[in-house]
Amino acid sequence: MNLSVIEQTLNEKFGFKEFRPGQIEAIEAALQKFDTLVMLPTGSGKSICYQLPGYLKEGLVLIVSPLLSLMQDQVERLKKSGERQVAALNSLSSSNEKKRIFNNLNKLKFLFISPEMIQYDFVINRLIKVKIALFVVDEAHCISQWGMDFRPDYLKIGEVKEKLNNPVTMALTATATNRVRDEIKDSLKMDEEQTKEVIYSVNRDAIKLKVEICEGNKKEKLKEFVRNLQKPGIIYFSSKKLADELAQELRSELGLSVESYHSDILTDDKIKIQQQFIENSVQIICATSAFGMGIDKSDVRFIIHYHVPSNPEMYLQEIGRCSRDGKDGIAILLFEYGDQFIQKRLQEDALPDKSLLSYVYKNYHKIKSNQEDPRVQIAQYYQKSGIPLSIAVRQVEIRERLKSEQLDFMMQYIKHKGCKRNFILKYFDEVIDVKPDKCCSSCNPSLEECFYKYEEGSIVRNKVDMNWRKRLKELYKIDDESIKTRKI
Amino acid sequence: MNSNHEYITYFILSLFNKDSPLSSAQLIHIFHGRRTPSMLFKVEREKLYTPFGLFKTLTKDKLDQYLNELIKLKWLDINENNGYILSDNGSLALEKYFSDKDYPAKIASLENATIRTPFFYQFQLVSQIFSEAIYSNKQYRPTIKDPIHQTAVKEWLATLDESLHNLSKCWSNELSLVLENLTEEEALILVWKLTGHELVGKTNRQLAESLSLDTVELYILLNQAIEQLIDLIEKSEYTLLKSFLHQTKKNYYYGLSRSTYLTASYIRKGNNLADIALKRNLKLSTIQEHILEIALVKQSFNFRPFIPEKIYIQLHQSFETNPYFSFQKAKQENSNIQFMWYRLVEIERIRNESISN
């Protein structure tokens, strides 16, 4: 297809004049009917890689997406850009919504679907009847047991693809090692000769890396960084309680506009916090890993990790929310001896052990389906999927070992005296030829000072006039005259 | 006491009284909004409408921590019936704590317990849609993302035969007027929660900070304000707000559980209980539990036709002679007596007592 047509579509549908690195290769591969494995770093515009071909090919773009919130977010973005023929099919869809989707399948352009939903025969039987322009597997690293977010139900997507008569496939991920990429191709039954790989480095030069070793002074160090660093920024915690506590301390002691964000915050309040962060009325978010997916904010200037992340993939994904505008930003990892044990404990709490798996397999009919404990949920998943107990036990053991190795790698990263960037990239089988300016805290010991900025406005928060009548007038463009004349 | 959970501790303390013991297991069921007839009756008898379904994610362990703290302070006494009662010290502590702040006691029935939350989610979404429509903006992202709420709002809008712009004006008019009937604090909380064109609403924490309230206090006041709003709309002649409220109520079975709502529909059509049990393929006792749920949730429900006149009089007389007249005793006096009859009369007596008090 003519490049100018593709560029014109980019401009018309997405409002961009130029492609970002990797996008055009992925788009052209899909248009030429090649299966494609796309690895582009966080914030590089991966969704355009499958959305744009959708406009140039006849048929439905079917996107398997692992997270309901991410799915919802993508649907809203497309709708906001004027696309009406888009829908999401998942466990939250009402029966009416499902009916509406199936009745309009031929008219739909984009259908986001959860991995568990796409496995149902009644869904496959409907999908077989429509022309699928592109079969997309988003966050494809979930397929891999070696990836950070292994989802057992992703394993069956390859079979689904075959049942759908092997449509042209695009698998997307932001962070995957060679081993994970091989597993994705294998699981999705992507033919080596018919598959193109668009692999870009996970490295982001604009994000400078710092590790700060603390000795009983982590809170003070955090406050020092937050006080001085240019904002906005995100601070990641492993604990909801600490996220709340530190947010409160940063508000009261530094007078900053700070909010905590985690699973205990009410759903509508979460959206408000996201929106306030995007429009800069909130400067800092103290979050657990629940925050970030689908947040499109280009000017985040720092990411601080108060606790060591569980693995390098997650670390890169979370710091990838910094500097999306291409301007420099800093990622600081605070470490204090003993932090690794918090992560170890969290890992232990995340997977079922052999006795729990055996118990669930034996007593599955007695256990209610809506279990809160994630270990029971995972055990139930294995049981329901018909995976033999011995294999489930083995898979869990593999996951445990992997998690332990990943945490060990993070510990080595923290302790490494040489270039931090070089070290973390080795995990992804990458090397850098030319180090960026202000590369990391090993290459530049006073790195953080390059990002210190006194911000006058940030010290005292503006007092808001809480007059509800005035607010209502602003919400509904009500003027005094119209109040007098309006009648019900 | 830890100042971070001061309000919730006093609020929990306020749910106890000196006469009827309340156990931790009962209280957690009340916080989680468990709808068994016995739990609903406990709520009715102790007037625990406000906490019903209020803290659905509170764990029993956490609740026990609060209760242990109150026991240590000797504000709660352990009762022989495996529950707790308010001590004299506890009563004094409550009086002192709530002397300079309003106690949230405006929720006076179970009628909207399951409606409040979805109503307010959808109310926020509709308010945003109308705000954006007034500014002729179609490029916005909804603040309420749950597809269930989005679909419900979409379906409601589809029933209205008017342009979005005109509806928006009507909505803002009606809203302005109805809000004038709330207290200043209630109106402020509700309006500042709303998101609209280029205005992002406040979170509970932010509102609590602005009003110098505890976050839990704000959350309870918000619930109370939503209840007031629902009541005002219900009693008003504001057509658009009323249509929206009725759609929400309909979607949530008018505050009943789905099965009870179906039973209520059969009753409305004139079926007797035995017929309903037969038609619905349910036990008669289940249908009788539905009647109790309707009576406890809908204060206007006339349950007299479900109690034989003679039994009704007999039960009232027995209660007059002995206010602690038990079902066991009633059964001894008349072996044919049904629990549903006994409980319905008990409910009526409780309500009559409240009115006379």
Instruction: Indicate if B175 and B226 belong to the same structural domain.
Output: yes
Is residue B92, in this structure, part of any structural domain at all? yes
Supply the CATH number for residue B50's domain: 1.10.10.10
Higher pLDDT, A461 or A197: A197
Instruction: Indicate if B121 and B246 belong to the same structural domain.
Output: yes
So what's the pLDDT on residue A370?
64
CA angle B101, B104, B106 (to 5 degrees): 135
Whether B133 has its CB under 8 Å from any CB of chain A: the answer is: no
Query: Which residues does A contribute to its contact with B (CB < 8 Å)?
Result: 69, 72, 76-77, 80, 88, 92-94, 96-97, 259, 264-269, 271-273, 275-276, 279, 281, 464, 466, 468-469, 471-472, 474-478, 483, 486-488
Structural domains of chain B, count: 3
Is residue A116, in this structure, part of any structural domain at all? yes
Is residue B281, in this structure, part of any structural domain at all? no
What is the percent of chain B with per-residue pLDDT over 70, rounded to a whole number?
Answer: 98
Q: Which residues of A touch B196 (CB under 8 A)?
A: 474-476
Instruction: Indicate if A141 and A232 belong to the same structural domain.
Output: no
Instruction: Indicate if A237 and A167 belong to the same structural domain.
Output: no
Last residue in a domain, options A199, A219, A247: A199
Question: Looking at chain A, how many residues does it have?
Answer: 488
Token couple for B339: 């629990």
Instruction: Indicate if A146 and A262 belong to the same structural domain.
Output: no
Alpha helices of A167-310 — where are they, by DSSP H? 178-187, 218-228, 240-254, 267-278
Is residue A481, in this structure, part of any structural domain at all? no
So what's the pLDDT on residue A374?
74
Instruction: Indicate if B66 and B177 belong to the same structural domain.
Output: no
Q: Which residues of A touch B172 (CB under 8 A)?
A: 472, 475-476, 478
Instruction: Indicate if B121 and B249 belong to the same structural domain.
Output: yes
Is residue B276, in this structure, part of any structural domain at all? no
The residue assigned the tokens 């509508």 is A268
Query: Which structural domain, as residue segments, surrounds residue B123?
Result: 116-253
Is residue B324, in this structure, part of any structural domain at all? yes
Supply the CATH number for residue A143's domain: 3.40.50.300
Last residue in a domain, options B253, B272, B293: B253
Instruction: Indicate if A288 and A419 belong to the same structural domain.
Output: yes
Instruction: Indicate if A222 and A84 belong to the same structural domain.
Output: no
Instruction: Indicate if A45 and A19 belong to the same structural domain.
Output: yes
Interface of B with A in 173-212 (CB under 8 A): 173-177, 179, 184, 187-188, 190-197, 199-206, 210-211
Instruction: Indicate if A325 and A439 belong to the same structural domain.
Output: yes
pLDDT (average), residues B105-117 = 94
Between the CA of residue A453 and those of A227, A301, A450, B328, what are the distances in Å?
A: 9, 11, 8, 77
Structural domains of chain A, count: 2
Residue A395 pLDDT > 80: yes
Cβ separation B203–A94 shorter than 8 A: no
- Best residue in B205, B215, B220, B222 for a mutation probing chain A (most A CBs within 10 Å): B205
Reported as a single tens digit per residue, the pLDDT across A13-38 is 998 999 999 999 999 999 999 999 99
So what's the pLDDT on residue B349?
93
Q: Which residue of B has its CA nearest to A483?
A: B173
Token couple for A220: 């003070």
Instruction: Indicate if B248 and B338 belong to the same structural domain.
Output: no
Stated pTM of the model: 0.85
Instruction: Indicate if A33 and A73 belong to the same structural domain.
Output: yes
Write the residue in A273, A475, A477 that is nearest to B203 by C-beta: A273
Instruction: Indicate if B126 and B92 belong to the same structural domain.
Output: no
Is residue B137, in this structure, part of any structural domain at all? yes
The residue assigned the tokens 């008349």 is B334
Distance (Å, whole) CA B329 – CA B333: 6
Is residue B277, in this structure, part of any structural domain at all? no
Query: Which structural domain, as residue segments, surrounds residue A169?
Result: 3-199
Reported as a single tens digit per residue, the pLDDT across A333-376 is 999 998 988 888 877 777 888 899 999 999 888 887 666 677 88
pLDDT (average), residues B187-207 = 96
In this prediction, residue A459 has a pLDDT band, given cuts at 50, 70 and 90, of: very low
Cβ separation B170–A268 shorter than 8 A: no
Reported as a single tens digit per residue, the pLDDT across B124-152 is 999 999 999 999 998 888 889 888 898 89
What is the percent of chain A with per-residue pLDDT over 70, rounded to a whole number?
Answer: 93
Nearest Cα to Cα of residue B52 among B102, B124, B127, B107: B107
Instruction: Indicate if B149 and B249 belong to the same structural domain.
Output: yes
So what's the pLDDT on residue A487?
46
Pairing state between β B83-86 and B76-79? antiparallel
Distance (Å, whole) CA A134 – CA A56: 11
Instruction: Indicate if B88 and B126 belong to the same structural domain.
Output: no
Is residue B260, in this structure, part of any structural domain at all? no
When mean pLDDT is compared across A197-201, A291-295, A300-304, the lowest value belongs to: A291-295
Instruction: Indicate if B54 and B153 belong to the same structural domain.
Output: no
When mean pLDDT is compared across A216-225, A374-383, B30-39, the lowest value belongs to: A374-383
Distance (Å, whole) CA B14 – CA A227: 42
Instruction: Indicate if A178 and A263 belong to the same structural domain.
Output: no
Write the residue in A94, A469, A474 that is nearest to B151 by C-beta: A94
Last residue in a domain, options B253, B281, B310: B253
